[in-house]
Amino acid sequence: MSDPGKYRIEIDLSRQQLKLLRNTVLLFETVVSTAAKGAGEHRGSEQTPRGRHIIRAKIGAGAPINTVFVGRRPTGEIYTEEMGQAQPERDWILTRILWLSGTEVGRNRLGSVDTMQRYIYLHGCPDSVPMGVPGSHGCIRLRNQDMITLFDRVPLFCPVWID
C-alpha cells in the first residue's frame, strides 16, 4: 500500500460524513453514524472521540460481508435480519474493523481518554441501521459495502481526523 501520510480520513460529526482523501483529491465519501451521545473522549462516555487519530489495526480482510465480530474476532456467524430482531439493542460490529488510536496525549491518547483502550472503531453495521444520524455507542458506523471500500483503500496508520 502507498505511503500512509498521503492518505487521510476526515469525519465531520455535525454532517455525519466521512471523506477519504489522497493529498487534496477526494477518493471516497459516504454518510456515517457516530455516537448517539455526541462527541467526547472519556472512557465509559459512549461518545465519539475528537481530534487526530491513526488506524492502528485493520481487522477482517477477506471476511464475507455481514461477518459478525465480537472482541475483534469473527464469530463464524453471518448477520441476518432475524438476528437483529432477536437482539434489537445490540450494537452489531460487522464485515470489517478499522481500530483507531488517538495521537494527542491527554486529549485522546493515554489515561482515561485513550481511544484505543476505549475500543473505538470504524466498522460495518446492519444495512437497516440509519445513516446520517448519530446512533452508535461511540464508534463510527458505515454501511457494509462502504466499509469494504474504505478498508481496501486505506493503509495501516492512515491519519484520521474527527471533528
pLDDT at residue 3, as a whole number: 63
DSSP states along 17-41: EEEEEETTEEEEEEE-B-BTT-B--
pLDDT at residue 84, as a whole number: 95
pLDDT in tens, the chain (163 residues): 456 669 999 999 999 999 999 999 999 999 999 999 999 999 999 999 999 999 999 999 999 999 999 999 999 999 999 999 999 989 999 999 999 999 999 999 999 999 999 999 999 999 999 999 999 999 999 999 999 999 999 999 999 999 9
Question: Tell me, what amino acid is at 3?
Answer: D
Domain that holds residue 144: 4-162
Phi, psi of 87 (to 5 degrees): -135, 70
pLDDT at residue 89, as a whole number: 87
| Count of domains forming the chain | 1
pLDDT at residue 1, as a whole number: 47
Which CATH number covers residue 79? 2.40.440.10
E strand or H helix at 33? none
